[in-house]
A and B are shown apart, each in its own frame.
Chain A
């Protein structure tokens, strides 16, 4: 069975804080992993792909550990606009994406 499990959340942090989300997956056949962001009642929006070598996009850093089947997302210097649900997602090219339930982040001033 393919499953993606995430930290339950919610995470409530002040502006400027650093916050980390973790995720584990059970299907070793998944080749690709992503973090999507979802605002309330909106579509999932691709935040970043996750590579084994780790990748960084501005304040966001994602890491994949295939041996441990573990994915992480680090957000530095949190902004109010970062408040959303962050979805850990696994899949392969041209096939179904498997979504985690999501972790809710609330950034306050």
Chain B
């Protein structure tokens, strides 16, 4: 069964450093998303991406964040200068054309020290 994959599973970084989180969505999917979940809190939407551009973003997704689809398979989330409060699980998700159902990757646990 096709699935969304994410790397790394755990990333530790120092405050102020840049991090890139990587995702490989399900191959025939066209819509891609990033969500985050701070420990003990609900899953929050960050950004959606379709047709090589951002289609929607939340208030959380400020100038420190960017997304890119550098090739036909990868979808990345970059945080330019990490803050302590960026520590969270980051989930990538995707869905196909005409489908409402989003499938999530296993997540990257980001720890900012």
Contacts and interface: CB of A to CB of B under 8 A. Distances in A.
Contacts, number: 58
A43 B107 contact: yes
Nearest to B107: A43
Contacts of B99: 93
B72 interface: no
Interface in A23-51: 31-32, 34, 41-46, 49
Contacts of B43: 44, 87, 97, 99
A94 B106 contact: no
A43 B102 contact: no
Contacts of A45: 104
A99 B41 CA distance: 10
Given A34-B101, A94-B95, A99 B42 contact: yes
Report, as a range, how many residues of chain B touch the other chain: 20 to 34
| Secondary structure of the B contact surface, majority rule | strand
A98 interface: yes
Given A92-B100, A97-B45, A99-B44, 9 more contacts: A32-B100, A34-B100, A41-B89, A45-B104, A49-B100, A87-B42, A94-B95, A97-B93, A102-B42
Interface of B: 31, 33, 35, 41-45, 48, 50, 55-56, 58, 89, 91, 93, 95, 98-107, 109
